[in-house]
Structure 1
Amino acid sequence: MSLSPCFIMLVGYSSSSEEESEVTTDTNTSLSRKYQEEDDGDDGCPVRKKAKMKQLVPKTRLPVPGDLLAMYPEEEDPQTDDSSLHGGRIRSFKHERGNWATYVYFPYNPEEEFLELLDELLSAAGAHGVALKPQEEFHLTLSQTVVLRHHWIQPFIQSLRTGLAHCKRLACSAGKLKVYCNAEKTRTFLGMEVLTGQDQLLDLVRAVDRTMTEYRLDTFYKAPSFHISLAWCVGDFTAPMEEWIQELQSLVDHHEEGVFTLRLDCAELRCRTGNKTFRFPLES
């Protein structure tokens, strides 16, 4: 009996398939054993893959470029609310990221005679049991301290610049000591009240207040006592200091060659907001 070519081909195909099946089985078994040897973890990832993944994880964090940090100056140290970092001073409002404390003022650059007098005043106050600390800088404020959101700063400053564009420079003097206390009764100040130039200062306050009103911020006091703060202490010491303020005043009235008068050339108004200071030169 002769076999047809088709039958021969089918028999050959079947034989070839059986051989491939045996090879595939052996290969699968080998691969299975290989992965079983590699996979000794609980999460189903091969050890070799785990090793590669570990190599990809950086061991240390790269430093943030300084230029990038400078783009966000309003992000201050979260410890700035710690009163121990500010000589015991307590904030009038809670520090929040993106909120900038802002005020308008005239700077005063102290002369040597003024600093000598200040030392005498601090010594006399200490003899009465009140340890006053000198101001880090001296200025005449024309606004309350308000809070500005970071994105308000540029339009706020532009509004101030427009309102002060035609304001005139002035000169004022101070020589009368006065005790001040903040609204929260957390700090007491020894100040020197301004005696001349008050009308011109009120004109400037009105210009500043227009910008404050535009941004729904607190305007200046209705009956302001313009002054330059000389020194301060924590707490409300208004009553005891007023008892011997005349003793301190006598040091001012009889300082060396005569009455000491603090003279302030108000040629440039400034606005400080956060760590930025903007300048507004006044017309001559």
Structure 2
Amino acid sequence: MLVGYSSSSDEESEAATERIPTESLRILTLVSNRLSLPGCLLAMFPEEVYPQTEDSTLHGGRTRSFKHERGNWATYVYLPYPPEEDFGELLEELLSVARVHGVILTPQEEFHLSLSQTVVLRHHWIQPFTQSLRKALVHHKRFACSAERLKVYCNAERTRTFLGMEVCTGQAQLLHLVQAVDRTMTEFELDTFYKDPSFHLSLAWCVGDVTEQMNECLQSLQGVVTDHEDGPFVLRLDCTELRCRTGNKTFQFPLKP
């Protein structure tokens, strides 16, 4: 298990906040609008008294799909892909061809194949959630899948467009894994995965909905993959473990040999 722990003082502060009734926070906010409260009180509830608007310029123009709240942890399940040298060279060429067509793409910071939507967990749900997920995956075996066809994706909010590589083999095993993950999601009344998923690895992204513009140059981009110097490039993913990232914690779930 790979896991990063927050400091005990953070957890104590977080727990203290959750013990304060909502009505008390409302009164604190009303009072703060009329009187100058001591700094020690304002520091206890900075987001409740003065809600913060996230600066998207700090994240390359990206915006959150849902509002950040204290004690809520963005969570998703995925298969990691450690990029090979050939993949890095291919990605650079794809970015270059996209620039020629007027599309400026930013490469992903890491590469993975999603097996869940991004959901929100309360801090005290993390341990039972990961225990349930581990139990659901205990009988699943390792396998391999591959991808070679490029496809354009846009998120539900139409705030980001992605260039992805769609999986062409291993879909049956991936669907089997999604069913296991969905059982845990359902147990915690969270959103399950898409009904007819297009399994893929996102390669790069840009801000806004530029689906039409990217589709116009998709044939040229696919040519980079098909006409690779060593033959058509095929991305191969060895599915040996699932991972679950929740906030700053990452949990590993090895699959059976």
- Aligned residue identity for 2:114: T
Relative contact order: is structure 1 or structure 2 higher (C-alpha 8 Å, sep ≥ 6)? 2
Corresponding position of 2:241 = 268
Aligned partners of 1:136 and 1:253: how far apart in 2?
24
Corresponding position of 2:148 = 175
- Aligned residue identity for 1:69: S
Corresponding position of 1:69 = 9
Aligned partners of 1:127 and 1:73: how far apart in 2?
51
Q: Deviations over 1:81-136 (max 9, x none)?
A: 32111111011001111000000000000011100000000011111111100000
Post-superposition offset of 1:73: 9.5
Per the alignment, in what secondary structure is the counterpart of residue 161 of structure 1?
helix
CA contact (8 A) 1:80 1:95 kept: no
- Find the structure with the greater CA-based Rg: 1
Aligned partners of 1:74 and 1:171: how far apart in 2?
41
Written as runs of structure 1 = structure 2, the 5 A alignment for 1:26-175 is 67-69=7-9, 71=11, 81-175=54-148
* Compared CA separation, residues 241 and 160, structure 1 to 2 (3 A): same
Corresponding position of 2:170 = 197
* Compared CA separation, residues 67 and 240, structure 1 to 2 (3 A): closer
Q: Deviations over 1:155-210 (max 9, x none)?
A: 00011011001011110001100000000000000000000000000000000000
Could you tell me the TM-score, scaled by structure 2's length? 0.81
Post-superposition offset of 1:68: 3.8
Aligned partners of 2:8 and 2:170: how far apart in 1?
46
What's the RMSD between the two structures over aligned residues? 1.9
- Aligned residue identity for 2:137: L
Identity between Structure 1 and Structure 2 (%):
72
Could you tell me the TM-score, scaled by structure 1's length? 0.74
- Aligned residue identity for 2:198: S
CA contact (8 A) 1:176 1:194 kept: yes
Runs (5+) with no aligned partner, structure 1: 1-65
- Aligned residue identity for 1:280: F
Corresponding position of 1:39 = none
Question: For this pair of structures, how many residues does the alignment match?
Answer: 218
Corresponding position of 2:216 = 243
- Aligned residue identity for 1:230: L
